[in-house]
């Protein structure tokens, strides 16, 4: 698959930024796999620089984006790819994921002229390697370490040999990139906040370039709300909502803060949902605090009763009389 390279202005990513980065001309054969950009998406500058550095080289290593849930790891990749016209294939990691879900397996397919025959159906990783896409393995730390260890050869840049398909050899395309995301830097999780994460084989983590992604800063989160709900959400309300999210994060036991007590946290995803629900119900006749009603549906219904109470208390104290 050949895609024409094309310089893309950095100002597409960060308003006012000078310079260009290498991407692809739009309208290529794999266009249907290029993600759609979200207007108003705010690129985190440091992580963006790391993404460009990684995408710019093709020496086999993978990129591991590590960070708390809902902070923007997956969307960072999709938003960058959208603007570079880089096709993406994506798989969500889970505890029972098997290699054939990545590479492919024999399956029954219709043949021309009627009937059906078993033939090899390539999986998303094999496709990405062959055609030159970005392959995203989300939540890689949920995988069985035996499976992730099996990815070693690919992360070393070696060709993929598919025994099941008559020994087919897939030489990685120069545009192929492997990016994984997860909540821990492959070290498992000893805070108890991320159930199901498994300590990954260190040799295998060695094949990854690790980049930490955090929640956006308060300024940026305010801009995200502003861009997303342009003018619909009162600026002071947005500011206070972001402050509530940050106060909850400080109390989250996954942050490493001594004395933190909450077992759920407040992701950027949850923040956006809170604003969405609030706007949705703004004209509904709801008794009591609409902020609280929306917050319950966005987050605190999932919390234990005493944690819900603690989070609502944070909201009340930050919003003051505006909470009612």
Q: Which residues bind ligand ADP (CB under 6 A)?
A: 38, 41-42, 44, 67, 69-75, 181, 216, 224, 268-269, 272
Nearer CB in complex with ligand ADP: 74/300: 74
Site residues for Mg ion, window 116-155 (CB under 5 A)?
A: 138
Nearer CB in complex with ligand ADP: 80/272: 272
Q: Does 74 bind Mg ion (CB under 5 A)?
A: yes
Which one of Mg ion, ligand ADP, none is in contact with 177 (Cβ closer than 5 to 8 A by kind)? Answer: none
Nearer CB in complex with Mg ion: 67/123: 67
Nearer CB in complex with ligand ADP: 72/123: 72
Please say whether the dihedral angle defined by the alpha carbons of residues 263, 268, 271 and 273, taken in this order, is positive or negative: negative
Query: Cβ distance 52 to 20 under 8 Å?
Result: no
Number of H helices, E strands in the chain: 12, 11
Which one of ligand ADP, Mg ion, none is in contact with 240 (Cβ closer than 5 to 8 A by kind)? Answer: none
Distance between CA atoms of residues 27 and 271, nearest Å: 35
In 10-75, the DSSP E strands lie at 20-24, 62-66
Min separation Cβ 136 and ligand ADP, Å: 10
Query: Cβ distance 273 to 284 under 8 Å?
Result: no
Q: At 89, is the secondary structure helix, strand, or coil?
A: strand
Min separation Cβ 276 and ligand ADP, Å: 10
Min separation Cβ 209 and ligand ADP, Å: 17
Q: Can you tell me which residue has the tokens 């979200």?
A: 38
Half-sphere exposure in the Cβ direction for 40 (13 Å, CA):
12
Nearer CB in complex with ligand ADP: 173/269: 269
Min separation Cβ 294 and ligand ADP, Å: 17
Distance between CA atoms of residues 241 and 167, nearest Å: 56
């Amino acid at each position: 698959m050949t895609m024409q390279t094309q310089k893309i202005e950095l100002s597409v990513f960060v308003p006012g930024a000078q310079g260009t980065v290498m991407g692809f001309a739009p309208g290529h054969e794999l266009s249907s796999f290029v993600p759609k950009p979200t207007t108003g998406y705010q690129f985190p500058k440091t992580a963006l620089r790391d993404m460009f550095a990684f995408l710019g080289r093709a020496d086999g290593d993978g990129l591991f984006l590590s960070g708390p849930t809902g902070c923007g790891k997956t969307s960072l990749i999709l938003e960058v790819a959208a603007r570079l016209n880089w096709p993406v294939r994506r798989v969500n990691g889970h505890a029972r994921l098997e290699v054939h879900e990545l590479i492919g397996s024999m399956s029954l397919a219709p043949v021309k002229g009627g009937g059906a025959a078993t033939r090899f159906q390539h999986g998303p990783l094999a496709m990405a390697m062959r055609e030159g896409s970005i392959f995203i393995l989300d939540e890689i730390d949920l995988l069985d370490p035996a499976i992730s260890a099996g990815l070693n050869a690919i992360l070393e840049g070696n060709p993929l040999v598919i025994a099941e398909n008559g020994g087919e050899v897939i030489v990685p395309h120069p545009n192929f990139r492997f990016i994984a995301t997860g909540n821990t830097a492959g070290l498992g999780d000893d805070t108890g906040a991320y159930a199901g994460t498994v300590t990954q084989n260190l040799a295998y983590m060695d094949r990854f370039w690790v980049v930490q992604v955090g929640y956006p800063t308060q300024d940026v989160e305010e801009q995200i709300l502003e861009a997303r709900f342009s003018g619909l959400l009162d600026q002071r309300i947005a500011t206070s909502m972001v402050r509530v999210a940050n106060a909850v994060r400080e109390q989250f036991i996954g942050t490493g803060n001594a004395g933190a007590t909450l077992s759920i946290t407040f992701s950027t995803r949850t923040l956006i949902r809170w604003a969405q629900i609030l706007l949705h119900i703004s004209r509904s006749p709801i008794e009591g605090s609409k902020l609280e009603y929306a917050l319950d549906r966005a987050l605190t219904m999932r919390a234990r009763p005493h944690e819900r109470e603690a989070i609502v208390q944070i909201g009340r104290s930050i919003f003051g009389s505006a909470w009612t």
